[in-house]
Structure 1
Amino acid sequence: MGKIAVYTRVSSARQAADDAYSLDVQKERCIFLLKSKGYNDADIDFYCDAGISGTTILERDQLKELLDKLERGQYDGICCYDLSRISRSISHTLQIFKLLKENNLRLYTCDGAFNGDINGQNAKIMVSIYSMLNELFIDQLRERVIDGMSKSVEAGNYFGGPPPYGYKYEYFSVKQENNFQENQNSKTKKKDIKKRLIINEEEKPIVELIFTLFVREKYSIKNVAQYLNLHGYKTRAGKQFATATVQKILENPVYCSRLFWAKRRQKKKTEEGVRVWEKKTIFDVNFYDLPLGNHQAIIPEDVFLEALERLRSRRKVRVNENTADAMRGITKQQFDDANKKMFINILRCPGCGGRMTSSLQPAPKLANGKRGKAKVYYKCNSFNAGRNYCDGYYSVQEERAFNLIKEDFFKRLKEAFMLVKEYQQYIYEKYGTDEQMLFDKEIAKIKDEIKILEKNKTRLVSKLDTLIERQLLEDSGTFKYERLQKMINDTEIDIAKVQQLITEQQNNIKQAERRKEALLKESREQEQFDNIEDYFSSLPCKFSN
């Protein structure tokens, strides 16, 4: 029997620890089934994806590797605990089933639904039914989880990953009255352990300072970040504050004891099973519809609403001015896709060496009250983010950067062409001919050498035939027979050496022809670019505006 693959998968750490559904249990059941079918331990290879959902294939490296090897015919088939281990998506399951069927492979499942042969009509029906039930299960599970989490949020419980800046988690046992503190990575997944937000007294003053600077002192977001960094304040990770970090804090209603949950909802699912999400911001919801949290507020509600209103007006100005008329009626993503910046991830700040990022700056108002086209400028990303690594002195308009690069490009290209011309002149003065004629002479010389080698090879082949005929007349094992055999072996070696020389010379001809073609191409380019600057300027070049 050939080799067969065992595939195991669990969706979560809790499922991995479940004695009835763990990876080890799946593996043992599959091995037992395959041995009953006549397979040995040496025939079985194992593939495992732990803690990955079955709704997509993109993140399952082991399954992708297995499917690739199945397609190349390295296995007789696949064995799994049940069909849901392969996929809980109808489209993915049917694709894998098609792959198995087209390559005449076998499918085994420990629940007895599939027993090897999948060529019958019943197997296709079973795959359709099981995959439909698996997808129905995951959809119902997702709805139940979302409903449960929504009810929990409405009851005032915070959902999220790491606690927001200014807060920390307090872990407590639902079975004991005494609360206790512990690390976030310790025992928090047990069913009787819950967590809630409490104020982090070390970070609380910084959050209050951020809102004071922005709301009372009317600092911009960048100025708030710069103030924090100048006075030595650090993020939880020990880094400087960036404008994005400050804005995230200012937009988070958790600081006034409101919960903003479900910031994205599934909009649709593609045929490949990839979910397309619809994102929602704090500006898209009614603040008073947000549920009250059970945690203590750091910022008064009126202060947060004032900050939110200032952010909203700032956001409106940026949308209306910075993107000018081009962005109206479309999303920011659509605008960015249609207006790719030319030097993204290319330009570096001369001051600090950091990456320069682009921003769309509104043109000044004209006499008639209208604005001209907005211009793209590149500034140091560290300066834009409010960090103090750079003073932000260097700023360049995109069109200006393009012209500088174009000027340098022309200069370098002309220098390269001048070097080529000087080299060609040197060749002509030394040999009395141009380089193209030299290549023709070199190729002709190599061809003459190949002709001589071909004659030597013909002579050696004739000698070999004569030696073989003479050996056939002698008795095997005699001195003369053995001497002729040695001469035959030596002649065969000589023929191989001559053939190797012929091959090398043929390769030399190909290389010479390639060099000649490169030279001709270079000459054509020189003719084409006699007026290179006019040609370059005629190319369509659209600047972001």
Structure 2
Amino acid sequence: MSKKIAVYIRVSTDKDEQISSVENQIDICRNWLERQGFEWDEDCIYKDHGISGTLFLERPAIQQILEQAKKKEIDMVIFKSISRLARDLKDSLEIREVFIAHNVRIISVEEGYDSHKAGKNDMAFELWSLFSAQYSRTLSAGVSAALAAKVRRGEHIGRIPYGFTRIDGRLQILEEEAKVVRMIFRWYNQGWGFKRITKELNCLGIPSKQSNQWQMTSIQRLIGNPIYYGDFILNQYTTVKMGGRKKQIRNTPEQWIWFRDHHPAIITREAWETANPNHSNKEKKKFTPWNDLRSILKCGLCGSSMVILQSHKVLSTGEKHYYRYLKCSRYRRVGWAGCVNHKPITYEEMKKFIKDQLIEKGRLLELSFVHYPSKDYEKRRGEVEKSLRSVRTKSQQLLDLYLDQFITKDEFEEKRTELDRNAHYLQKQVSLFQQKSQQIKEIKTIQQAFYIMEQQGQSLLHVFKALVDVVILHPNLEIDMVYRFKSS
């Protein structure tokens, strides 16, 4: 019986030199197989095109091979080098473990690695994977340094913002769009809100950069962007890997690299500062209420999610009474061009209605499960504890750098103060998690489930999601609910 072989090929970009390397990888693998007496089959080739080796979950070909390995449908996987398999140490080792666990032979031609000859406990594969991961990090640092050098020379990197064009790598004002930018800032500084500006632009038929319709979030980002008075900020975001995928996180302002008067300005610095009087504290003042109904509650007209907004009314005593109400997210972004404004209903009213309906519909439904601390709770606690360990490790490494005279005393003191502050904060968070440690409870009814969650101050989100597929809120406040259980 012939062996089922998978030849894995990966190229990270669609450039010509990368495309030609596909044939190069195939030839290397085919040559090895034929020299070993294996029969070549064109159908055994699995290709991931234009995908980084650091993105494990976003590579369909390697995912397909892993699934076939689990189903015992392949006996051997061969690839040109370990860098083609993965450029992340954790991913590389996880892939290897799956193959080894299902008795799939692994061949890396360039490194001369053969899992059948090496055995399960060899370090060669781990070392080559480490070198591959380090190369990726070094390459990333080199690219970042090259991009920073371009910005220092006055060139622009990234997506071209509305109001500009790019000529010879430098931003130049696109007057037709720049007039719209000046108009937006003038309206805003006259007291217009984001929604009114969005509605006016759409009514005038002025297209945005990416699509025909303006959205409220686009106006918010435009008004808050320093690029319009000539400054450019580098290193605002960092790409991190979470769960096999890359995600952008916003850096603290201390990590930003600010280039003043980098390119021609569309508006004056004074006009921008008038529109952004508290820009240095913008992130601290941002408030987003906790939403136990997110991803469940949908608009009955356009299907978009319903979001929570906060407002207030002044009582006869002069005090402000704050309340949270629901709004179609598409209507909030686009206005009447996107959806309609629902009749008013508060978040608390909607949450109580859903909870009461679930208790009533499920009163004869008997549950039988044990309530443990939520996965989200345990995940957050684990992340905080991991961060605390990381800070303590960095503190020790910092001391070693100082003792070995790689850094000055002033640099050491400055960094140590920052690390001590982080460690103190994280230690307080760990203590809070320990104080709120939850007891195991057996739950028999839906009503009991709600009671336990509320007593422990937990979100009801995962209870709602377990019992409800979707809640549809129509503009006239009619409500349709699709349950995940058979009601009495």
Which TM-score band applies after superposition, normalised by the shorter structure? 0.5 to 0.7
Contact between 2:297 and 2:306, CA under 8 Å: does it hold in 1?
Answer: no
- Residue type at the aligned position of 2:217: A
Q: 1:279 aligns to what? A: 250
Tell me the CA shift for residue 360 of structure 1.
3.8
Matched residues in 2 for 1:311 and 1:252: separation? 10
SS of residue paired to 1:377: strand
C-alpha change, 1:385 and 1:48, in structure 2 (3 Å) is same
2:301 counterpart of 1:302? no
Tell me the CA shift for residue 80 of structure 1.
0.8
Matched residues in 1 for 2:215 and 2:44: separation? 49
Task: Identify, as 1 or 2, the structure richer in helix.
Answer: 1
SS of residue paired to 2:276: helix
- Residue type at the aligned position of 1:223: R
Q: 1:180 aligns to what? A: none
2:46 counterpart of 1:78? no
Q: Deviations over 1:352-393 (max 9, x none)?
A: 656463334244466888655x43211233442252335636
C-alpha change, 1:314 and 1:107, in structure 2 (3 Å) is closer
C-alpha change, 1:298 and 1:363, in structure 2 (3 Å) is closer
Structure 1 unmatched runs, 5+: 173-194, 324-331, 415-527
- Residue type at the aligned position of 2:103: N
Structure 1 residues 395-404 or 376-385, which shifts more?
395-404
Tell me the CA shift for residue 73 of structure 1.
2.2
Matched residues in 2 for 1:124 and 1:295: separation? 55
Identity of aligned residues (%): 22
Tell me the CA shift for residue 207 of structure 1.
0.9
SS of residue paired to 1:13: coil
- Residue type at the aligned position of 1:358: V
Structure 2 unmatched runs, 5+: 364-443, 461-488
Tell me the CA shift for residue 214 of structure 1.
1.0
Matched residues in 1 for 2:282 and 2:205: separation? 27
Q: 2:150 aligns to what? A: 152
Matched residues in 2 for 1:286 and 1:116: separation? 44
- Residue type at the aligned position of 2:220: Q
1:346 equivalent among 292, 297, 301: 297
Tell me the CA shift for residue 535 of structure 1.
10
TM-score, normalised via structure 2 length: 0.66
Alignment of 1:120-519 (within 5 A): 120=119, 124-161=122-159, 163-170=160-167, 172=168, 195-215=169-189, 217-266=190-239, 278-280=249-251, 284=253, 290-292=258-260, 295-309=263-277, 319=286, 323=287, 339-342=290-293, 344-348=295-299, 353=302, 355=304, 357-364=306-313, 374-389=322-337, 392=341, 394-402=343-351
The count of aligned residue pairs is 376
Task: Identify, as 1 or 2, the structure richer in strand.
Answer: 2
Contact between 2:11 and 2:18, CA under 8 Å: does it hold in 1?
Answer: no
Contact between 1:107 and 1:118, CA under 8 Å: does it hold in 2?
Answer: no
- Report which structure shows greater RCO (CA 8 Å, sep ≥6): 2
- Residue type at the aligned position of 2:124: M
Matched residues in 2 for 1:343 and 1:109: separation? 46
Query: Considering only CA atoms, is the larger Rg found in Structure 1 or Structure 2?
Result: 1
Contact between 2:56 and 2:245, CA under 8 Å: does it hold in 1?
Answer: no
Matched residues in 2 for 1:301 and 1:37: separation? 70
Q: 1:102 aligns to what? A: 101
Matched residues in 2 for 1:98 and 1:536: separation? 39
Tell me the CA shift for residue 60 of structure 1.
0.8
C-alpha change, 1:354 and 1:133, in structure 2 (3 Å) is closer
Q: 1:456 aligns to what? A: none
Q: Deviations over 1:29-84 (max 9, x none)?
A: 21121111111124861111111111231111110110221232222211111111
- Residue type at the aligned position of 1:127: F
RMSD: 3.9
Q: Deviations over 1:497-536 (max 9, x none)?
A: xxxxxxxxxxxxxxxxxxxxxxxxxxxxxxx99xx9x999
Matched residues in 2 for 1:148 and 1:535: separation? 59
Contact between 1:13 and 1:51, CA under 8 Å: does it hold in 2?
Answer: yes
Tell me the CA shift for residue 231 of structure 1.
2.6
Q: 1:17 aligns to what? A: 17
C-alpha change, 1:391 and 1:75, in structure 2 (3 Å) is closer
Tell me the CA shift for residue 118 of structure 1.
3.6
Q: Deviations over 1:417-464 (max 9, x none)?
A: xxxxxxxxxxxxxxxxxxxxxxxxxxxxxxxxxxxxxxxxxxxxxxxx
Tell me the CA shift for residue 537 of structure 1.
11
